[in-house]
Structure 1
């Protein structure tokens, strides 16, 4: 026997399964720490991809062929911050969402701020004072306080005596 195999047998440790030359352990599926971390990363990525594919398949709906061109025009005229934009008859994209600021009609994309009033705004109009918000913050906060801090009444000692 060679000296490396006797030292491996004596220490009870085997070389990494991936063949990198470092020692592995049973806790890391006989891989070294570097190879095991890489294995975990690829496993997490694969699981995430599978979940995303299942979600995209579950929520993908074919475009509704019963919608006429007048219905598409009505969907385009939606006054909300995210309006449906009907694609042309020759395009395959169907309906898609556009995110624009309700005040200045600026494209906001991922940097948009959704207000409690339900609209989407750019960085300049995100504050309630900038876009004349109709949401009643005082009433909302008071309702939360009432729900979280319920009234506690003590026992009446007169009935116990």
Structure 2
């Protein structure tokens, strides 16, 4: 009887996930509390990085340059978009993960489109290989004077 009365006193998680919370975890379940701690840590580090970057970069003419807040927001959104697109094939947008093939043209492809003929690669392989041959195989000419032989 004491056990059932103890369960009814425990509050549900404040995030509404359906599990029981406790006072040590601010009335959250363990999963929600761990997520809460991670987001708090991320917020603290981003604030510290913003403060450091603002101290390092002082605009010479503030009326010409945009505000530093908009610079950080734009760079963050571009970074997340490029990282998300970077894990997909350039042709078919298939997720490639760690098994992607990076071509000499700089794009990432799946196993099907990894060959240059499959993705219409703009990289000039002949010119690249000829330049390597020119660097590695220098011209050797014999002496024109037969007395030196």
Q: Could you state the TM-score of these two structures normalised by the residue count of structure 2? A: 0.47
Q: Could you state the TM-score of these two structures normalised by the residue count of structure 1? A: 0.44
Structure number with the higher helix fraction is 2
